[in-house]
Amino acid sequence: MNKTKITADDIRAMKARGEKIASLTAYDFPMARLLDQAGIPLILVGDSLGMVVLGYPDTTHVTMEEMEHHVRAVARARPNSLVAADLPYHSYESPEMAVANARRLKAAGAEAVKAEGGREILPQVKAILADGIPFLGHLGMLPQHVLEEGGYHIKGKQEGEQQALIADAEALADAGAFAIVLELVSAPVARALTQRLPIPTIGIGSGRDCDGQILVTPDLLGMLPWFTLKHVKPKLNAADQMREVVREWKEGLAKPPVK
Ligand code: KIV
């Protein structure tokens, strides 16, 4: 396990060394501590928080206050991992707003921020970077746009979408993003972007050939059996195990004590 604090530059440098970047989400102190102890270099306090912790139907309901609350909990674990946090929906409408809210996440303990989009948010990305806050891009399926898009669809199947993804990714890399999350990008396009970009691509549902992979941790642990996702095979059946342990404990209460 790496004992020194990981920076955005360290994540970027992993691409040059051909080292796969394993990234997972955390929303609280124990999960952040466990991921850090397992050697995960990049922890994301994602706005998936909305669905996997707060019970919202999608990420568009998550507020700045909720993000700050969970970033503080993660930061209290003092992980060696780099802690990135999502700027929630409608929190980066202008460069001024993006900087003010990125500063709030930084004050809560985030060491980098992520926002969804490419050239359309470039002034915001440049303003955040000019303020000295490392920036993680997010292209492909953008969950904050799920309502306009009518669902979660693979991006990059059509020529026009491929060209737009390339132009957006290059714009983010030129602006100084340290890495880009590619969500539900068709595998051949994700591979081409990975070969083309000087910064790491971190895929989710975008094939095996990205420089790294990110997952929503409760999906990996099988904690949310009511969501089934094509791109994640849970490695644990935590939901069933939890229900079983709780039932056994409850039944144990009813038994007479052993003399
Ligand atoms: O909010 C989140 O957890 C994310 C990941 C799915 C990349 O953005």
| C-alpha closest to that of 141 among 185, 177, 181, 172 | 185
Question: What is the rounded distance in angstroms from the CA atom of residue 217 to the CA atom of residue 50?
Answer: 14
List CB contacts of 138: < 8 A, sequence separation 6 or more.
Answer: 114, 115, 116, 117, 180, 181, 183
DSSP β-ladder status, 135-140 and 179-183: parallel
Please name the residue whose Cα sits nearest to atom 3 of ligand 1.
Answer: 46
How many angstroms from the chain centroid is the CA of residue 37?
18
List CB contacts of 165: < 8 A, sequence separation 6 or more.
Answer: 118, 139, 140, 155, 156, 185, 189, 193
Q: Give the mean pLDDT of 49-61.
A: 97
Q: What is the pLDDT of residues 7-45, one digit of tens each?
A: 999 999 999 999 999 999 999 999 999 999 999 999 999
Q: What's the pTM?
A: 0.96
> DSSP secondary-structure letter at 38?
T
What are the structure tokens assigned to 4, written together?
């020194």
* Least confident piece of the model among 20-24, 44-48, 172-176, 254-258: 254-258
Please name the residue whose Cα sits nearest to atom 2 of ligand 1.
Answer: 46
| Ligand 1 neighbour 193 (Cβ under 6 A) | no
- Number of Cβ within 10 Å of residue 59's Cβ equals 22
- Number of Cβ within 10 Å of residue 118's Cβ equals 23
Annotated catalytic, 183?
A: yes
- Substitution site in 44, 59, 70 for ligand 1 pocket (most atoms within 8 Å of beta carbon): 44
Exactly one of 68, 111, 116, 183 is catalytic; name it: 183
Distance, CA 10 to ligand 1 centroid (Å)?
A: 21
| Ligand 1 neighbour 190 (Cβ under 6 A) | no
Q: Can you give the length of the chain in residues?
A: 259
Question: Which letter, b or e, does each residue of 27-55 get, where b requires 16 or more Cβ atoms within 10 Å of its Cβ?
Answer: bbbebbbebbeeebbbbbbbbbbbbbebe
pLDDT band at 1 (very low <50, low <70, confident <90, very high): very low
Distance, CA 253 to ligand 1 centroid (Å)?
A: 40
What are the structure tokens assigned to 185, written together?
């990008």
| Ligand 1 neighbour 182 (Cβ under 6 A) | no
| Ligand 1 neighbour 112 (Cβ under 6 A) | no
Q: What is the pLDDT of residues 119-146, one digit of tens each?
A: 999 999 999 999 999 999 999 999 999 9
Residue 29 backbone phi and psi in degrees, to 5: -60, -55
Pinpoint the alpha helices (H) of the chain. 8-16, 29-37, 49-52, 64-75, 95-108, 122-130, 146-149, 159-175, 187-196, 217-220, 238-254
Q: What is the pLDDT of residue 2?
A: 47
Q: Indicate left, alpha or beta for 242 from its phi (over 0: left) and psi (-120 to 50: alpha).
A: alpha
Q: What is the pLDDT of residue 255?
A: 83
Q: What is the pLDDT of residue 227?
A: 83
Q: What is the pLDDT of residue 150?
A: 87
| Ligand 1 neighbour 214 (Cβ under 6 A) | yes
Distance, CA 198 to ligand 1 centroid (Å)?
A: 22
